[in-house]
Structure 1
Amino acid sequence: MEFAGIILAGGASRRMQAGPVPIDKALLPLAGQPMIAHVIARLGCARAISANGDPARFAPFGLPVLADCVPDRPGPLAGVLAGMDWAAAQGFRRIVTAAADTPFAPRDLAAALIGAGGPVAIATHAGRDHPTMASWDVDLRDALRAALAAGMRRPVAFAESVRARRVDFTGDDPFLDDPFLDDPFFNVNTPDDLVRAERRARAA
């Protein structure tokens, strides 16, 4: 099945911000590379980046940058929809999304999610859903557009509305002393999170 990886990099990074100057956490350095570079490498099938603002900041990655196609930046579902619309125009039947602040995603993420089948398959770990780490049938784009217009904002709510499957990535990890790092879907939201992520990246 033809599918495209879409990196979701549209978050506002509010908890990372220490002052009035906006911070794009996807571009923060982690183990000598921008954080998003780790996500691109782990996903292995990235074809586009979903992000608002100046697309030139992502030029070094050589991927198309997709702005939200609905107003008011309603959250990650808007990025999923932008990815679906772009992928459909390119002839892809599915997309796999990964959040740009999740640098330790499993390397088999795309294969496992695609292999699960269903209209949507979302990653889970230790009983917790990670709906931005998911595969989506692009034929859902009209339903998602309607759901966004009706005020839906939570990715897991939309996924469940179309009977999403779940793929469990729970397993052993060397960072058992730090429950945050034990999660392969650990996402970097704060400066403290970035310190933890640096520790993990350098120990890998």
Structure 2
Amino acid sequence: MSAPEDGTCPRCETPLGGADECPSCGLTIRTAEDGLTSAAADAIVGRTLSNASARRRPSGRRLPYPFRLATALAISVPFAPLSSFALTSLIPAHPIIVILVGVLSWMAPAAALARTTVPSLIVGRGLLVLGAVVAVTPLVVAAGRAVIGSAAAVDPPIESSQTVYGSFLAFGVLILLAGVAVSRVAGRKRDTWQDASPRHRE
């Protein structure tokens, strides 16, 4: 066990100025044989353990962007086929256009969601958006076909019927409820991170 570093008291960190006893808290640092007293040794151990515990405390730093982007891309996958079905239900589109729209509908939400710091919150927000989009897709397609008129696609993948509306609405609501549940849990985790490091706010 070595003497206190930089000439400070291991208990209260008051400069010792070469003294064998702390002028502030009265801790005896050295024995008559110029060794550490048991009280000083205990104080050094306690200070070392305290510093180690502080280093292990959550830092609240952002996770690497590639990890967050991968999570966002995974939760955004359903947007690609959904947008493609909606497009081909509206107008006759070239396959290349359908693919480009699908890729863009997958990448754009993922890029926005990846800005979130907590991966589970990415999932929660992704489910919320996906649920809302699924619920309104048949209505959007029906409104679009009504506006386009005779130029609308023949035999659309998403038809205008009460069964289709009900199925999309029910599925969308289920996804929304899952998104709400995940977002609540993730929100509490984010608050814990922010309490650990107030500088990192969303």
Q: TM-score, normalised by structure 2?
A: 0.25
The structure where strand makes up a greater share of residues is 1
Q: TM-score, normalised by structure 1?
A: 0.24
> Larger radius of gyration, structure 1 or 2?
2
